[in-house]
Structure 1
Amino acid sequence: MNILVVDDEKSIREGMKRTLNQTFPHFQVMTVHSCQDAILLLLNERIHVLLLDIRMPGMNGLELLAALQRSHRGTKVVIISAHSKFAYAQEALRLGVKDYLVKPVGKEQLIRTMSLLEQEWADDMQQLSEKDWIHLNLNYLREAVFRRWVQGLDIGRFDVSRLAEKHPYFHLVFVQLEGKQDISLHHFVVENVLTEWFAMNGQGFIVSLEGNRVLGVVTLREEVEAACADFERGARAHLERCLNEPYQFVMSRRLTDFHAIPQEVNALLHGGAALVQQELPARKNDDAVEIALQYIAAHFQENLSLEKIASIVYLNPVYFSQLFKHKLGIGYKEYVTQLRMERAQELLANRALRITDVAKLVGYDDLRHFTQVFRKKFQVTPSDYRLELS
């Protein structure tokens, strides 16, 4: 099995990898320190088990888990968390995780969980017939073959007629990303947004082409087809809200010859007149970050999740996290923590406030957690810091 450990603490990542390598030498164990890096790896590797920290700088584990629900349903997920609160566990279970382990995770507990998952995976494989296995991996197979076919490359004896039967009529949807950075992440956003929009309005699929291009094939329900312009406007609106990256959007007229798709795509890529191109301007990224900073400054004492702030500026959480770190040089969670700690220092100078009051005023209902964060930041407890001020 392929195992991916996602945790921002190096000692935990390496400790888990060491334990797994010693106990399960036949596993391939990979590690990354952020959800963004996890997405990049998941786009290129088949991961069977994901060991995922629930709270990390930037995009958190629950947000990653929600994003992967549609595209990686076969991946078994185990949450690793320092928080035993029921709300976290409840949300994780709702998103389909296999287990919820509270840090510090002992070796025996990790080994026991992985042994159960290995047996479960082996049982799944035994129950799958060859036909079932092909069906399970159809998305990967179809994307690889369809991509080669569209680009005029050899696909051996694979017959696209089965796909053609599902799409007696269809539209081609083409997105070309204009940005130079984080292409894999932007591909991930486009694929997930369009896949969801296609499912809401008909049936279709998405494939990534070379470089910065994404191609979709969609057969709309008849009532949607009758208002095709609304479908197109909706697709563009969803992309613009979630992507916030310069791109071009192209949607074909209604087509009926599935086997002519390579010619249609070739005409599209070379400026063919059969398809109408519409360019979508990028939003001003600096404005989005500035709005976010103003909101954070006014509400930092509240429960400010990355997802909530991203929704305020109408951005996809993955993209917002990347943009925020690129603009400020630090991650979203680190920035909010830094802001809270600086404010806490100011409030501790006011001896009329109890330390419990200070904690709540900067967004921490749990005094113990506040003390831990403060000490980690300044190498001194809030109480000792207040004494030093005198």
Structure 2
Amino acid sequence: MSNFIKRWNQLSLVKRIIIGLIVGIILAVTIPNVAKPITIFGSLFVGALKSVAPILVFFLVTSAISQHKSGQKTTMKSVIILYLLGTFLAGLVAVIVSFMFPVTLTLGAGIESITPPGGVVEVLKTLLLNVVDNPVKALYNANYIGILSWALLLGLALKNAPESTKTMISNASDALSQIVRWVINFAPLGIMGLVFDTIATQGIKSLLSYGQLLLVLVGSMLFVSLVVNPIITFIMIRQNPYPLVLKCLKDSGITAFFTRSSAANIPVNMRLCDELGLDKDSYSVSIPLGATINMAGAAITISILTLAAVNTLGIQVDIGTALILSLLSAVSACGASGVAGGSLLLIPLACSLFGIPNDVAMQVVGVGFVIGVIQDSCETALNSSTDVLFTAVSEFAEWRKEGKKIVIPKK
């Protein structure tokens, strides 16, 4: 047994996750009733990541800001620009793909009563209110906008504190990072439980009737991941972008795909940033911020499902309106994390641009919930992996200007 554990630990995390994935699929297909208890591994893994992420972000950001020296370079400005640009381009890609491959839906009765936001103003209002949320409540509810704002303020207030105080906060940050490493080592068991639960309870039969819609959605997300993002990366670092792009997809995207939670993937992304050799002061802020405003996958979902509703109702769309939809989906997507239900509940907001009644729009939301097993997984994988990519690209661009060599770890 000791030899097995030693060999197991010698494997890379991704290889261990793939093994867990395969075992989960085999058990779900062969003995779903007997193996049902393993679903607890998935719940424990996601629960542990979600639990540690808010307090980890709070201490990391507070420590980074309190110890920041005046005049010290940061890449936050370029990271935020890339986040917003990437989200807009994703929405634009989704609109173009929807024009090239129009999809229609079969709409039936409404779904259960849920309340979407009333407009862009309401989305932005929610986002701003989250900034001034009670700090304890923000930690409890994993409100990362609130957590970031309070951590920034506390860090600024502690800049003139004694070094012993700063050291204590830094030690707490390091201890939480160690806890995260322990949790991530259980990722193979967690992924096994998650994939087993998905296949055993959802199956793929309910998704077959939405095959074309899923192809358009997933195809758009793949295009952004493998074409748009590499182009942005190449422009910034002027070297082959794919080693970095593929590493982010492999080390961040895989876990995000199965956890389906950008918040739960924050510790995974921070671990990857550390492996890439990035500045902790920068990524401790940019990663949790990205989980809130870097929403390329959400912009794609909002645009494609909205235009599917438009096609179903036979509404004509001109180029100008399509561009407005791209911008609207990008702005809405940035507020998705602050709205219960995520990106799907922002579809009625986009549908209102075309005068589509709310009851019809909510039926489109219902379709989104049906395909959510795949749609939400791919969306989260794109969003979360891009957080690391753009954080790394911004810093690597500075390295290039300074003449430093950019080396992407292969393991």
The structure with more strand, counted as a fraction of residues: 1
Q: TM-score, normalised by structure 2?
A: 0.23
Larger Rg: 1
